[in-house]
Amino acid sequence: VTLKTDLDEDLRHHGDAEVGAGLVDLAVNVRAGAPPAWLANRLVASLGALASYPVAGPARAAVAARHGRPPGEVLLTAGAAEAFVLLARALEPQRAVVVHPQFTEPEAALRAAGHPVGRVLLSADQGFLLDPALVPEDADLVVVGNPTNPTSVLHPAASLAALARPGRTLVVDEAFADTVPGEPESLAGRRDLPGLVVVRSLTKTWGLAGLRVGYVLAAPAIVDQLAAAQPLWAVSTPALAAAEVCASPVAVATAEEYARELSAERAHLVAALTELPGVIIAGRPASSFVLVRVADGPALRAALRERGYAVRRGDTFPGLGAGWLRIAVRDRATTDAFVTTLRELL
């Protein structure tokens, strides 16, 4: 384990900066090019109410019911990204620790709010799997992703639960939890763990990155603290409509079906990548993207761009270097064409 406080990476770099006209997007982890028709129709129907200020109650109740919790344990946010800013603004951690490699916005938000941030770096040799003993005992705020972006590794719920204790806020970023069939390692329904904050996103699976919608699940006192830091009406009426409908049993069943399809497509991509010389997959991918190590990441990424493919650079993630690239799981035809190109370049 390494605890670092220096900043070598561009924490504010994200996959959306890597896509562009004429490029097949394997860099952004949003599932579809557009939300499904039933969801888009619901968004359109919500436009008639735009003259009124947003009312969060029905969405809050629907999300609470979806996770078997009371509405007072739910806060709708403008994407998971807003939740990280609210946490950074509302809490006053003396020793915040972020488990890396992971999505960089939680650390960026904590730093922007003036908090020092320590890092626990999980190692490729251990398959990027969380060992709770690596987290310093005196950490009073711990942030960990599950499944983790960019490693795609799914940590056991027991490892995460072992990090919870009185006097500590444990933030589990579950932005990609719904990409895992059955969500077996999710803590979203756990009400017994002290200081637990689960952050969820609706932008990935539902193709709603531009709408900005997600939510926090936590004890009422934490939810109230975060709500007090949130701007008024931060979540728009269409975003609330999306949250309400995406929490319905039919939508949850649809997400489950998507997750099962995704698992098959990911297995196909992983099998193809495993065949390639000089491509290493560290850890067991469980989400909608796969992290690989190659001999010369920057050169390969540039060559792929020349050939029409945008993959996500790995070097802006703490704990990874230039040899790492993240590849989104897409449909079989896209994957096959991509792997053919990759094989030629290698």
Nearest distance from C-beta of residue 327 to ligand PLP, angstroms: 14
Does 25 participate in binding ligand PLP (rule CB under 6 A)?
no
Q: Contacting ligand PLP (CB under 6 A), which of 39, 59, 74, 81? A: 81
Does 173 participate in binding ligand PLP (rule CB under 6 A)?
yes
Looking at beta carbons only, is 173 or 183 nearer to ligand PLP?
Answer: 173
Return phi, psi of residue 278, to 5°.
80, 10
Q: Contacting ligand PLP (CB under 6 A), which of 3, 162, 209, 280? A: 209
* Residue 204 per-residue DSSP state: T
Does 175 participate in binding ligand PLP (rule CB under 6 A)?
yes
Looking at beta carbons only, is 81 or 304 nearer to ligand PLP?
Answer: 81
Sites for ligand PLP among residues 26-65 (CB under 6 A) = 29
Return phi, psi of residue 11, to 5°.
-65, -15
Using CB under 6 A, which of the segments 62-70, 77-85, 223-231, 290-298 binds ligand PLP? Answer: 77-85
E-strand stretches of 85-206? 96-100, 117-121, 141-145, 169-173, 196-201
Looking at beta carbons only, is 214 or 238 nearer to ligand PLP?
Answer: 214
Q: Contacting ligand PLP (CB under 6 A), which of 46, 104, 146, 149? A: 149
The answer to whether the CB of 164 falls within 8 A of the CB of 193 is: yes
Looking at beta carbons only, is 10 or 296 nearer to ligand PLP?
Answer: 10
Give the three-class secondary structure for 66: helix
User: DSSP string spanning 237-304?
Assistant: HHHHHHHHHHTSHHHHHHHHHHHHHHHHHHHHHHHHHHHSTT-EE-S-B-SSEEEEE-S-HHHHHHHH
Site residues (CB under 6 A) for ligand PLP?
A: 29, 79-81, 103, 145, 149, 173, 175, 201, 203, 209, 214
